Structure 1
Amino acid sequence: MQVSQNTAVMDRAVQDKAVGTPRRSFLSVWWALVDTRIGVIPVPIYAILVALIAGFIATGKLPTEICMVIAILAVCGFTCAEIGKRLPVFRNIGAAAIFATFIPSYLAYNHLLPDELFKVVTDFTKQSNFLYLFISAIIVGSILGMDRNVLVKGFLKIFVPLAVGSVAAGVVGTLVGMAVGMSAYHSFFFVVVPIMAGGVGEGAIPLSIGYAEILHVPQGDLFAQVLPPVMLGSLTAILLSGALNFVGKRYPHLTGEGRLQPAGDDDLHPAAHPEMTGASAVTTLAAAGITAITLYLVGLMCHRLFGLPAPVSMLFLAVLVKLLRAVSPELQEGAYVVYKFFSTAVTYPLLFAIGVAMTPWDKLVSAFNVPYMVTIVATVATLMGTGFLVGRKLGMYPIESAIVNACHSGQGGTGDVAILTAANRMQLMPFAQIATRIGGAITITVVLIVLAHIV
């Protein structure tokens, strides 16, 4: 893996021996190997885990306890990501996130994963719903760690590029669909709208139910039609967001590296977070973690009582907590460190789990025909391009504004994770949730009202 690093350590060990220092060449090489990692896993530990997983599978009984699941997801997720990170050119446009999501989807669909491993990962992902633990940590941590002025202004501004981008994408996508041989009706209602509906659970399913009631067609047939654009739209958004990350490195003035707009003076800012030290650090991190879980559970209760999606409720609660300064700077620091931990250590294992359990490869492949692909790419590109231009006009960083708009065309919460991972901007998760959840809900509501009036 880091061959040059290992070579340098070996050379240093030889030099130490030559000048009479204690002989530590073997230990130095071993430490260098331990400090060489695949993702976050030291290489020797990685080798041991691979051997253990293979051994358990060979014995015919793969344990289902959480330690086993964590080991499987870590090894498989970081392996897929590592492959993507080492591909020339493609590594610059989000290949790590794409590989961590779609390689396991392909393997699962073609039964190339061991049956026991597939079952353990699928059962854990669906039963534990740990996607929402991840989103809770990311949303609460990023909001509490965000500049307060940027938070207020960003939440007010982000709806403008989102709204303008949605209208522009609807028009352009429909016109392109017509140009490649589809009807305006089919292009708009069955290709363009599903892309911006907010994913699968909050988008494609309620959209297909609404279509079924209005058109008097079986909901299952309609769901099969609207799902492929959701999948391919999310993949397109991942690729384009990865490309924008590369553009940001070439043209730094276009990006805030995760900040939506220039920061003001405030009590806290992600770029200025000091390292947490001292005996109280562990307690603070634990307090921050349970705070994030509590806010999510309050959001879950709001969903049960009022029907508002739990992540959206949690998002607004976290914003309220930040605006009212209801938690101390120390706890805000702890929340930010929890966010950094989850974004660093949990993202790729989570994407692998999503790929195995929640990403149907056949639905993705079914959208790979020229008319669909051209229409979908045009829709997503217009949505992001409009976000770029409008965001710049409003004083926001254009790349960040475009990436938030990209999340409007993502595969729900799972798409947000993949898009922001490809863009290396997980700090934008609160704004991504607005684009996905609220933007998707508004899209579905408006479209169903329009369809009911024209049928």
Structure 2
Amino acid sequence: MKKKYFGLNLPMLLILAIIVFIATYLGVLSKDLAGGVALMFAIGIILYEIGEKIPFWNTYVGGGLVLAFLGTAVLCYYKVIPEEYVELISSVNSKPMGVLNFFIIMLITGSLLGLNRELMIKSFAGYIPAILGGVVGAAVLGIIGGLFFGVSPANTVLKYVLPVMGGGNGAGAVPLSQIYERVTGDAAANYYGFAISILTIANIFAIIAGGLLNKIGEKNPKLTGDKKTLMRSAPEIGKGEEKFTTQIKDYTGAILMGLTFYQLGRLIADKIWDPLVPSVPIHPFAFMIILVALANGLGIIPGSLRQAAKEVQSFFTKNIVILVMVGVGVETDLHELVAAITIGNVIMALLIVIGAIIGSGLVGHLVGFYFVDSAVTAGLCMANRGGSGDIAVLGAADRMELMSYAQLSSRLGGGIILVIGSILFGSLM
């Protein structure tokens, strides 16, 4: 039987991709959602399949998904993709079209509604300590590295650890720089420029570490679970629960439900939380996670709709993820990364990521989590570039179904870092 590439045989894949590429270079590819998605799939599927076949890379670095991400970033760096279509892909992935947000919303909805209720409650209760364990571990190893390179502990924490562990760019580095300006009187740009550089380096290490942790889990099964849950003593999923069948129309209902949960999260974040606590912004995804978890815990979502949400999530995880990884690659500025690369910055960023892994993994183990899964979600998903970083890390770690926990790290964990930053900027600077 001939191998299929996302349902296509090799000649058909090449013909379709060549047509899209010719249209791109002649400037006739439509500059809308249809054209952007066609180009993203043509690039993504080819890079994915190549990445799955490269020895060592496919085993330890993250395989096809990571090559789709980094390969696209390289294509943009060397201007292989025409600038007008780089902008198109970026607009499809982020603003104004927002496929990335759509992807995350579907993963959060499906992964939370697919969880056993008892398991969900227990795992959420231990998750904040696991996040804090990662922050402490990152700070300890970061400070050790800083002392070696002549950076004071205060500067290490404020300029290296906080940006890396802050939940990404928009939810971390940007508000941290604004807090810095308000507290110190110095321009926010002076903090942000360095912070985003360190965060970019750490993000690459976090993605590679995700692939390595996945391999460690495969070689040491006691350190990981089924890649869908965190708890070591988790009840068997589906045991004693009624089985539900779905119809095609259920998928539409599940998608509308997930999108509505997100809009409700935005309403709470913008109209209730921000006016009450303007100094500590919390992303709508954090409130969405709480709302979906409550809905699951209270049992108010019909079983067929929960099953449909789970199946929609599975489709997005296995297929739309290729699209998103290309979009993330386009939005990764390798010029920024190259400019920040010094021996000191690289080693300190690496130590912070390792510290996050050790701290979150150990604390996670103490509260009943698997070491690898806790390290990936509570550790690496704090030490990356937020939503896009979460997708890249989970893709490399083959744990896309843990998106809800990853978003808790990026959003609620990022909020914790902003609180810590507000205190430390005033006391250490």
With the length of structure 2 as denominator, give the TM-score of the two structures.
Answer: 0.91
Aligned to 1:25: none
Aligned to 1:220: 189
3-state DSSP of counterpart to 1:142: helix
Aligned to 2:22: 55
CA distance in 2 between partners of 1:274 and 1:240 (Å): 37
Q: In the superposition, relative to structure 1, how do residues 84 and 368 fare at CA in structure 2: closer, same or farther (>3 Å)?
A: farther
CA distance in 2 between partners of 1:101 and 1:367 (Å): 20
Given candidates 379, 383, 394, the residue that maps to 1:409 is 383
Shift of residue 274, structure 1, vs aligned partner: 7.2
Shift of residue 420, structure 1, vs aligned partner: 0.6
Given candidates 42, 45, 55, the residue that maps to 1:88 is 55
Preserved contact between residue 69 and residue 325 of structure 2 (Cα < 8 Å): yes
Q: In the superposition, relative to structure 1, how do residues 236 and 253 fare at CA in structure 2: closer, same or farther (>3 Å)?
A: same
3-state DSSP of counterpart to 1:295: helix
> After superposition, where does 1:343-362 map in structure 2 within 5 Å?
343-356=317-330, 358-362=331-335
3-state DSSP of counterpart to 2:247: helix
AA of the residue aligned to 1:444: L
Shift of residue 142, structure 1, vs aligned partner: 0.3
Shift of residue 39, structure 1, vs aligned partner: 4.5
Given candidates 104, 111, 128, the residue that maps to 2:72 is 104
Please, which moves more after superposition, 439-448 or 256-265? 256-265
Preserved contact between residue 140 and residue 355 of structure 2 (Cα < 8 Å): no
Shift of residue 41, structure 1, vs aligned partner: 4.5
Preserved contact between residue 164 and residue 202 of structure 2 (Cα < 8 Å): yes
CA distance in 2 between partners of 1:273 and 1:224 (Å): 53
Aligned to 1:119: 87
Preserved contact between residue 57 and residue 116 of structure 1 (Cα < 8 Å): no
Q: CA RMSD in A?
A: 2.1
AA of the residue aligned to 1:291: M
Preserved contact between residue 168 and residue 387 of structure 2 (Cα < 8 Å): yes
Preserved contact between residue 197 and residue 443 of structure 1 (Cα < 8 Å): yes
Please, which moves more after superposition, 368-377 or 135-144? 368-377
> After superposition, where does 1:381-420 map in structure 2 within 5 Å?
381-404=354-377, 405-420=379-394
CA distance in 1 between partners of 2:385 and 2:96 (Å): 20
Aligned to 1:309: 283
Aligned to 1:260: 230
Aligned to 2:145: 176
Shift of residue 266, structure 1, vs aligned partner: 6.6
Q: In the superposition, relative to structure 1, how do residues 331 and 268 fare at CA in structure 2: closer, same or farther (>3 Å)?
A: farther
Shift of residue 361, structure 1, vs aligned partner: 1.2
3-state DSSP of counterpart to 1:62: coil
AA of the residue aligned to 2:35: M
> After superposition, where does 1:195-214 map in structure 2 within 5 Å?
195-214=164-183
Aligned to 1:158: 127
Deviations 1:236-256 (A, max 9, x none): 111111111111111112111
Aligned to 2:278: none
Preserved contact between residue 114 and residue 306 of structure 2 (Cα < 8 Å): yes
Given candidates 141, 147, 151, the residue that maps to 2:116 is 147
Given candidates 4, 16, 37, the residue that maps to 1:70 is 37
Shift of residue 336, structure 1, vs aligned partner: 0.5
Shift of residue 362, structure 1, vs aligned partner: 1.6
Please, which moves more after superposition, 305-314 or 36-45? 36-45
Shift of residue 116, structure 1, vs aligned partner: 3.5
CA distance in 2 between partners of 1:284 and 1:394 (Å): 37
Preserved contact between residue 299 and residue 313 of structure 1 (Cα < 8 Å): yes
Aligned to 2:340: 367
Deviations 1:207-264 (A, max 9, x none): 1111122222222232111001111111111111111111111111211122101322
Preserved contact between residue 380 and residue 409 of structure 1 (Cα < 8 Å): yes
Preserved contact between residue 66 and residue 395 of structure 2 (Cα < 8 Å): no
AA of the residue aligned to 1:225: F
Check if 1:451 corresponds to 2:422. Answer: no
CA distance in 2 between partners of 1:352 and 1:319 (Å): 30
Aligned to 2:408: 434
CA distance in 2 between partners of 1:148 and 1:350 (Å): 30
Higher relative contact order (CA 8 A, sep 6+): 2
Shift of residue 83, structure 1, vs aligned partner: 2.4
Shift of residue 183, structure 1, vs aligned partner: 3.0
Shift of residue 40, structure 1, vs aligned partner: 5.4
Deviations 1:161-198 (A, max 9, x none): 21122112112201211212323333221112110011
Unaligned 5+ segments in structure 1 are: 1-8, 10-31
Aligned to 2:277: none
Preserved contact between residue 181 and residue 371 of structure 1 (Cα < 8 Å): no
Q: In the superposition, relative to structure 1, how do residues 393 and 304 fare at CA in structure 2: closer, same or farther (>3 Å)?
A: closer
AA of the residue aligned to 2:40: L
Question: What stretches of structure 1 move > 6 A for 4+ residues in a row?
Answer: 272-275
Percent identity between the aligned chains? 26
Preserved contact between residue 194 and residue 204 of structure 1 (Cα < 8 Å): yes
Deviations 1:312-348 (A, max 9, x none): 1111110011001111111111010011000000112
3-state DSSP of counterpart to 1:242: helix
3-state DSSP of counterpart to 1:38: coil
With the length of structure 1 as denominator, give the TM-score of the two structures.
Answer: 0.86
Across the two proteins, how many residue pairs are aligned to each other?
Answer: 416
3-state DSSP of counterpart to 2:28: coil
AA of the residue aligned to 1:72: L
CA distance in 2 between partners of 1:369 and 1:321 (Å): 48
Deviations 1:87-111 (A, max 9, x none): 2112122143332222222322332
Preserved contact between residue 98 and residue 418 of structure 1 (Cα < 8 Å): yes
Shift of residue 85, structure 1, vs aligned partner: 1.7
Q: In the superposition, relative to structure 1, how do residues 237 and 420 fare at CA in structure 2: closer, same or farther (>3 Å)?
A: same
Shift of residue 267, structure 1, vs aligned partner: 5.4
Q: In the superposition, relative to structure 1, how do residues 110 and 212 fare at CA in structure 2: closer, same or farther (>3 Å)?
A: farther
